[in-house]
Amino acid sequence: MLKKSRTIGCLALVASVAAVLCSPAGAADAPGALGKLDTPLQRLVADAEAGRDIGPRARSEGLDVTRSEKVAVDVSVRGDAAGAARALEAAGMNVTAHTDRAPVPLVEGWLPVDAAERVARLDVTQAVHAVRGAELDVGAVTSQGDASHRGPQARALGVTGAGVKVGIVSDSINRVGGGIAESQSTGDLPASVQVLADGPPGSIDEGRAMAEIVYDTAPGITSMVFAGIEGGPVAKAANIAALRNSGATVIADDTVFLDEPFFEDGVVAQSVDAVKAGGVAYLVSAGNRGRQSWEGFYTNSAGNFHDFAPGVGVDTTQSIATIGPGERIVVSFQWGEPFGGATTDLDLQLINMGTGLPVAVSADNNIMNREPREFLSFTNPTATGADMTVGVRISRFAGAGAPFMKWIGNGGTYNIEHPVPTADAINPEAASALGSLAVAAVEHNQPGLNVVEDSSSRGPKLRLFPAPQVRQKPDIAAADGVATTVPGFNPFYGTSAAAPSAAGVAALVRSANPGLNVDQVYAILRNPANNIDCTFPPAFPQPDVECGFGFVLADRALVNAGLGGGGGAGPGPVPGAGPGPGPGAVPVPALTPCQKAQQALAAAKTAAKKAKGKKKKKAKRAVTTAKRAVKKACSKKKKKTRKKRRRKR
């Protein structure tokens, strides 16, 4: 019933893979409609038919499955999505969302495993693809980023983010500890936080940590709105639109579906472009995968395996990473054919380099389902007690094409054999959209603020359809390694922290000059004069493939927005949509004694919020002292001003 032994060889497979792929029915493509199911779904169906518990396999594949054995799926359909959704509902699927957006209409929802074959037989069904949970771009652990972005200096100009509503896209916001109310009680979130959809129980409130970071930089924000990720790309696209419809004019996002299209804009990227066209500034994590990627054209060798070393010898297995006991790795693999129009059937194996045997296989019928992608997941069993070095092997099962191919890996420690130094690892959906600003990560206390984190995904991004295009990604850089009050996110590392750091600056810019359109906001944030350039070796002008136009400085951005000098918020020297003038073209006003005192008070208040135990009392005294300093510095300034006015009279 399942797809293959193909050229893998059943005797060479480890038992856990061979048990599924090497059944008598596994020696060829799944018959008829079953070929529309992707490899994980075929395996779940096989387990269910054999009376096996599907839970272990679902967990190993990273799939969302309910206790009633329903699995989250995306169904590529023929015709209009609404009509297909009705047919799928009638066949037993619980439909949660659908879209007619290119490249193919999609219906998303929960499919009972025992209804999978029935759904596959429908004429409206083109392909059924299991939804993997969205990846979060959090680093190893975890806001000082505000100071690195010169937030206090910016706020000293009189701007706090007032009048701007910020949206957050992440896992959850109200599932851990005291949730939103706890952060509000410490002054780390505004009084109004609207939750359109929270993440499922068990989520870690990374969204709340993100919201706190935005609020640190823009404490004048009075309202935030949140949309969690439960479901797949179609649900995420709908949530992005809902945030915009709720009034958000700045959105921060740190989620990604790694199996969204690499070489064209999928449903999420198109949703980002749509809200940007509606006036929303969209700041999104670039990714935490450094250069955990490879790309190149298919080169055939004996057995129809790809040769990773043409012209040097023949090497059909590429060593890529090491995974520890209990550690999970995923590899998302795609090639340069349009979704809905795949004509080449490629397969992907994950190889234990110690034994040379496959430990995981992805072998969809790509010509039948017309999707140019494979996706595999593997967890190194804890019982082994040993690290495992793994590699990939690519084979061509059908078709005569030699397409451009690419894989992106997540999980593990990478040391890629036959590396391609220019292979990007930018998140393929929202971060790759033309309508977003993809944000790289620089640790908040990195000297110079000009070297990105090793894990921060490098660009640029290549799209092939509808026409080849190289996109500048990442766009900008912002701080990570910052503090929040959310358990597990103090400190908070990764581009998941950098995206809200940049969103806070965007909120200040929009607050300073509400008349700016989103292209002007983007131009200010990309302006090299407002940013610190990366030390990309060798010397490389902005933008570059590591941090784009550089690390954003809030006070310079506000001056570029028209604020400064007299402190007004009228129209300023804002470029249309280009990078703006060269470095040094925008002056940064020196702080007055009053502004310095206000800056110190803001820092003291932030420290007091974070302080615990005996340090709390000391921190409160520091706030009192800072308030006195403000009164002295600022009242003295006012007194001098009155004297000057009397002399003028």
Residues 7, 28: Cα–Cα separation, whole Å = 10
588 part of a folded domain = no
13 part of a folded domain = no
Query: Per mean pLDDT, which range of 245-249, 516-520, 557-561, 582-586 is the poorest?
Result: 582-586
Indicate the pLDDT class of residue 136, thresholds 50, 70 and 90. confident
List strands edge to edge, sheet with 94-99: 94-99, 106-112, 70-77, 125-130
Mean pLDDT, the chain, integer: 86
Q: Report the number of distinct structural domains present in the chain.
A: 4
Report the share of the chain in percent with pLDDT over 70: 83
197-219 residue pLDDT tens:
999 999 999 999 999 999 999 99
Residue at a domain's end among 131, 147, 172? 131
Indicate the pLDDT class of residue 431, thresholds 50, 70 and 90. very high
Residues 174, 195: Cα–Cα separation, whole Å = 9
Beta-bridge partner residues of 492: 482
Is the same domain home to 319 and 408? yes
∠ CA 394-399-404, nearest 5°, is 55
Which of 143 and 410 is assigned the larger pLDDT?
Answer: 410
Q: What is the pLDDT of residue 309?
A: 94
Is the same domain home to 275 and 141? yes
pTM of the model: 0.84
Q: What is the pLDDT of residue 645?
A: 35
Which of 536 and 126 is assigned the larger pLDDT?
Answer: 126
pLDDT (average), residues 580-605? 47
Is the same domain home to 140 and 273? yes
Q: What is the pLDDT of residue 144?
A: 73
Indicate which CATH number applies to the domain containing 53: 3.30.70
Q: What is the pLDDT of residue 128?
A: 97
Residues 300, 323: Cα–Cα separation, whole Å = 29
Which of 72 and 7 is assigned the larger pLDDT?
Answer: 72
Residue 579: burial class (beta carbons within 10 Å; 0-12, 13-18, 19+): middle
- In the 8-state DSSP scheme, what is residue 240? H
1 part of a folded domain = no
558 phi-psi bin (left φ>0, alpha ψ -120 to 50, beta other): alpha
Which of 564 and 219 is assigned the larger pLDDT?
Answer: 219
User: Treating both helix axes as pointing N-terminal to C-terminal, what angle do 495-512 and 206-217 enclose, rounded to 10 degrees?
Assistant: 40
Shortest CA distance to 278 belongs to which of 255, 257, 260, 251?
Answer: 251
Q: What is the pLDDT of residue 19?
A: 43
* Ranges assigned E (strand) in 411-557: 413-414, 436-443, 461-463, 469-471, 476-480, 531-532, 551-552
Q: What is the pLDDT of residue 32?
A: 73
Q: What share of the chain is helix, strand, coil (3-state, %, to 5)?
A: 35, 25, 45
pLDDT of 26 over the 50 cut? no
23 part of a folded domain = no
52-84 residue pLDDT tens:
998 888 888 888 888 889 999 999 999 999 999
Shortest CA distance to 271 belongs to which of 102, 427, 424?
Answer: 102
Secondary structure element (H or E) that encloses residue 277, with its range: helix 267-277
Indicate the pLDDT class of residue 145, thresholds 50, 70 and 90. confident
Residue at a domain's end among 80, 98, 131? 131
Is the same domain home to 523 and 628? no
223-232 residue pLDDT tens:
999 999 888 9
Residue at a domain's end among 65, 98, 131? 131
484 part of a folded domain = yes
Q: Going by C-beta distance under 8 Å and a sequence separation of 6 or more, which residues neighbour residue 617?
A: none
Is the same domain home to 538 and 640? no
Secondary structure element (H or E) that encloses residue 497, with its range: helix 495-512
User: Treating both helix axes as pointing N-terminal to C-terminal, what angle do 267-277 and 233-245 enclose, rounded to 10 degrees?
Assistant: 10
Is the same domain home to 512 and 615? no
Q: Cis link prior to 201 (omega < 30° from 0)?
A: no
Indicate the pLDDT class of residue 607, thresholds 50, 70 and 90. low
Q: Going by C-beta distance under 8 Å and a sequence separation of 6 or more, which residues neighbour residue 506?
A: 250, 281, 283, 521, 525
pLDDT (average), residues 29-52? 86
Indicate which CATH number applies to the domain containing 479: 3.40.50.200
Indicate the pLDDT class of residue 621, thresholds 50, 70 and 90. confident
pLDDT of 163 over the 50 cut? yes
pLDDT (average), residues 235-261? 97
Q: For residue 356, how many other CB atoms are within 10 A of its CB?
A: 11
Q: Cis link prior to 543 (omega < 30° from 0)?
A: yes
Is the same domain home to 416 and 445? no
Is the same domain home to 282 and 326? no
Range of the domain at 367: 292-423
pLDDT of 566 over the 50 cut? no
Is the same domain home to 142 and 238? yes
Indicate the pLDDT class of residue 13, thresholds 50, 70 and 90. very low
Residues 161, 509: Cα–Cα separation, whole Å = 8
Secondary structure element (H or E) that encloses residue 352, with its range: strand 345-352
92 part of a folded domain = yes
Secondary structure element (H or E) that encloses residue 644, with its range: helix 614-648
367-396 residue pLDDT tens:
999 999 999 999 999 877 899 999 999 999
629-649 residue pLDDT tens:
767 776 633 333 333 333 333
Which of 289 and 601 is assigned the larger pLDDT?
Answer: 289
Indicate which CATH number applies to the domain containing 359: 2.60.120.380
Q: What is the pLDDT of residue 646?
A: 36
Residue 67: burial class (beta carbons within 10 Å; 0-12, 13-18, 19+): exposed
Is the same domain home to 270 and 165? yes
pLDDT of 582 over the 50 cut? no
184 part of a folded domain = yes
Residues 354, 370: Cα–Cα separation, whole Å = 35
Beta-bridge partner residues of 398: 345
Q: What is the pLDDT of residue 620?
A: 80
Is the same domain home to 145 and 243? yes
Is the same domain home to 522 and 604? no
At 328 the three-state DSSP class reads strand
Q: What is the pLDDT of residue 647?
A: 35
520 part of a folded domain = yes
Evaluate whether 105 touches 77 at the Cβ level (below 8 Å). yes
Cα-flanking dihedrals φ and ψ of residue 70, to 5°?
-105, 135
Q: For residue 545, which amino acid is it?
A: V
pLDDT (average), residues 25-50? 78
